Structure 1
Amino acid sequence: MGKEIDIKVKAKYASKMGKGFPLIAKESISNLHDLQEEGSLVRLVDENKRFLAKGYYGKQNKGYGWVLTKSENEKIDQPFFSGKIRAAVEFRNPYFQDPETTAFRVFNGEGDGIGGLIIDHYDGHYVISWYSKGIYSFKEYIIKALQDTVEVKSIYQKKRFDTKGQYVEEDDFVMGEQPEFPLLVKENGVQFAVYLNDGAMVGVFLDQRDVRRKIRDDYAKGKTVLNMFSYTGAFSVFAALGGAIKTTSVDLANRSLPKTIEQFSVNGIDPKTQNIVVMDVFKYFKYAVKKELKFDMVILDPPSFAKSKKFTFSAGKDYTNLLKDTIAITEDEGVIIASTNCSTFDMKKFKSFIEAAFRESNGKYEIIEQFSLPADFKTSPEYKEGNYLKVVFIRKIKG
């Protein structure tokens, strides 16, 4: 892999990195000018030149690379990557054995020992997401490791190379036998139509699996359900299959309508029995108030950052107001499912948004359930930001 570059870690970051913190942050490096080519292997040393860890240089929105090993003599070669992929697959063995769930995460970045690399499984087809040119430089090693470990029907890739983490458009297909799309996969017995060749998002967010199952099994029966920021309607499908009286799915994107119709249809639900609305979510709140609409359950799963013609939403600043709008259209004793994938604040802070929203709405509430990432989204205990998902089930108390 070429010569390893010594990177000096500033004193205030050295101890944290020595304890296993996996991210190589830009501000932690003293000699940035020595970093030239992404994919270069780096030896991280403290200001006294004592070895801390070994990693790779790769720019992404989170930092300048990731630690790969704390062993000075470990080689970063084919056996290294094969070992990491093999361990990750073994950890997910229960998912591979479950015929009711055929879509799950196989490799979750730093949680599995290689930051910047994500691999998802869709019924024998694999999607690799590369988050920097640095990790992409190891492509041949990683693809061979995957092929040597599991039976691969096909591999697709998503390059997310620019510093904002946005998707770089190009042909996604890498190798194997391309399936017909939509590819039907299962999650807890429910079918999803996915498109591995259609841009950054394939049609379902796998990190909400446990939440969707909970909604179907324990909360949906006999309820009117509003699904805000609905994307392809996955929450709505689970709610309908759980016995909801009716679901309403709201999303600004025009493609959400045909995509949601498709998800209902592949599960034997007549889309005409459900309500699918293409509208700015923030306008829908006003519409619902005007029409005096109220719901037994409201699901909120906004992106961390969203922009419409008249409004910019940032989870860290605006979630409290979003909840206030939601409280106003939730029935007494109804349930609000508040979710965020924003990694810049923790569950304690998220709960403070909930408390503020109810206080400012002169309402009472109780927290009845909470979720974070499912088991296949393995995280590193030294990198709490990696456990980004926060979902809270809130009951709006009457009186």
Structure 2
Amino acid sequence: MRQEITLTVTDKAKAEFQRGFPLIAKEALEDADQLTQEGTIVNLADKQGKFLAKGYYGKQNKGYGWVLTRNKDEAISQGFMERTLSAALDQRKSFFNNPDTTAFRVFNGEGDGFGGLTIDYYAGFYLLNWYSEGVYTFRDEIIAALGNVVDAKGIYQKKRFDTKGQYIEDDDFVAGERGEFPLIVKENGVNFAVYLNDGAMTGIFLDQRDVRNAIKEKYAKGKTVLNTFSYTGAFSVAAAAGGAVKTTSVDLAKRSSAKTIEQFSVNGIDYEHQDILVMDVFNYFKYAKRKELKFDLVVLDPPSFARSKKYTFSTAKDYTNLMKEAIAITEQKGMIVASTNSASFGMKKFKGFIEKAFKEEGKKYRIVEEYTLPADFRVRKEFKEGDYLKVLFVELV
């Protein structure tokens, strides 16, 4: 039997919860020390004992849990989960009906009413991501609910809640049939090889779909493209598919080379005509300047935090300097795709990093386009922090 307790919220937090704020923070609770067991159902009440919302306890980043319902009498049961999942799937009907895109998000945590859980669709297979021990205690009910509302070839999972911030290695297969990997999915007509059974990452970040399509359709033709922090080269593949004359992919991870070759190959693109380099991006900037290399299009999509032998990179602290490095090797009238998935600041502050970099370099620019999360990554207007992706197409003028 799942534990259920009532907790008192602060006056400040009361107003936030009444407005629909979904995150339960430690500071919002007068009696957070009562929380001992993750997965506990939490009834939130004001100091007069009036019910405000119901959620669960699960530590995730700086949060202590998520609000699930404003209805005091609603049970957090398998039935609740089926209704919540069905509503989310209904919102994605147009994605299921698009043969050119067969990988997308079908459930986006608090944006779809159940924080701590995301579900992605990959050509008939479903991948669940659990972000806390608390949400993982609902595993059996959620998997059963998913099985009742979708016709899945197979279901996989990723546990992302290890206390040390490390991915928990485990058998990722859950139910149905095991996939044959790589599984080839489509994104706006471009093929990508994905793995649902190989560690934390699948091979593609689905939240960048609209950005990759913009590069392919509007910015790549006839251009030289540099893709930094390139991972499996997805931006490079999109650029090559859009008619780029050459792409250069740079990433420190040794396996990035083989992964990038694979992504080009599943699209019938000759990878030997592309440059794929395993090296520190900051060392590459030095090399490019020394060789007087310049690119028409530079993609800057670093992880929020990264460490190599010589450098420690934090988006909030170092993006301006990273931008300056990119400006130095971008052609006049060239384009920089500046991107970050850091949720610790908003678009206004991000634009400030860009402005500072150009000011310090004595160069002028204009922002041609900006992107946030695509439509399948649903966010709530009451929780702007959920819309973490910020991408700017910046032209040197």
Instruction: Give the distance between the partners of 2:70 and 2:231, measured in 1 at CA.
Output: 41
1:309 corresponding residue in structure 2: 309
**Contact 1:120/1:128 (<8 A) preserved:** yes
**Contact 1:60/1:165 (<8 A) preserved:** no
1:393 corresponding residue in structure 2: 393
1:126 aligns with 2:126: yes
Instruction: Give the distance between the partners of 2:252 and 2:306, measured in 1 at CA.
Output: 10
Bigger drift between 317-326 and 33-42 goes to 33-42
1:356 corresponding residue in structure 2: 356
1:250 corresponding residue in structure 2: 250
Q: Which amino acid letter does the alignment assign opposite residue 343 of structure 1?
A: A
Instruction: Give the distance between the partners of 1:286 and 1:7, measured in 2 at CA.
Output: 55
Q: Which amino acid letter does the alignment assign opposite residue 12 of structure 1?
A: K
Please give the per-residue CA displacement for 1:329-380, whole angstroms capped at 9, x wherever unaligned. 0000000000000001101111011100000000000000000000000001
1:184 corresponding residue in structure 2: 184
Please give the secondary structure, in 1, of the residue aligned with 2:75: coil
1:374 corresponding residue in structure 2: 374
Q: Which amino acid letter does the alignment assign opposite residue 312 of structure 2?
A: T
1:221 corresponding residue in structure 2: 221
1:94 corresponding residue in structure 2: 94
Please give the per-residue CA displacement for 1:153-209, whole angstroms capped at 9, x wherever unaligned. 111111112346532111111111111111101101111000100011010000000
Query: Where does structure 2 lack aligned partners over 5 or more consecutive residues?
Result: none
1:36 corresponding residue in structure 2: 36
How do 1:247-396 residues align onto structure 2 when only pairs under 5 Å count?
A: 247-396=247-396
Instruction: Give the distance between the partners of 1:278 and 1:162, measured in 2 at CA.
Output: 29
Quote the RMSD (CA, aligned, Å). Answer: 0.9
1:106 aligns with 2:106: yes
Instruction: Give the distance between the partners of 1:368 and 1:3, measured in 2 at CA.
Output: 52
Instruction: Give the distance between the partners of 1:9 and 1:389, measured in 2 at CA.
Output: 30
Q: Which amino acid letter does the alignment assign opposite residue 71 of structure 1?
A: N
Measure how far apart 1:8 and its partner are: 1.2
**Contact 1:157/1:174 (<8 A) preserved:** yes
Q: Which amino acid letter does the alignment assign opposite residue 47 of structure 2?
A: E
Instruction: Give the distance between the partners of 2:337 and 2:143, measured in 1 at CA.
Output: 38
Instruction: Give the distance between the partners of 2:390 and 2:193, measured in 1 at CA.
Output: 26
Measure how far apart 1:223 and its partner are: 0.3
Instruction: Give the distance between the partners of 2:244 and 2:62, measured in 1 at CA.
Output: 40
Instruction: Give the distance between the partners of 1:310 and 1:142, measured in 2 at CA.
Output: 44
**Contact 1:61/1:164 (<8 A) preserved:** no
Bigger drift between 84-93 and 69-78 goes to 69-78
Instruction: Give the distance between the partners of 1:5 and 1:221, measured in 2 at CA.
Output: 59
1:19 aligns with 2:43: no
Measure how far apart 1:72 and its partner are: 1.1
Instruction: Give the distance between the partners of 1:206 and 1:386, measured in 2 at CA.
Output: 15
Aligned length: 397
Among all aligned residue pairs of Structure 1 and Structure 2, give the percentage whose two residues are the same amino acid. 64
**Contact 1:216/1:242 (<8 A) preserved:** yes
**Contact 1:158/1:200 (<8 A) preserved:** yes
TM-score by length of 1: 0.98
Please give the per-residue CA displacement for 1:202-233, whole angstroms capped at 9, x wherever unaligned. 10000000000010001000100000000000
Please give the secondary structure, in 2, of the residue aligned with 1:12: helix
**Contact 2:2/2:39 (<8 A) preserved:** no
Please give the per-residue CA displacement for 1:300-357, whole angstroms capped at 9, x wherever unaligned. 0000111111111000010000000000000000000000000011011110111000
**Contact 2:21/2:382 (<8 A) preserved:** yes
Measure how far apart 1:2 and its partner are: 3.5
2:51 corresponding residue in structure 1: 51
Q: Which amino acid letter does the alignment assign opposite residue 119 of structure 1?
A: I
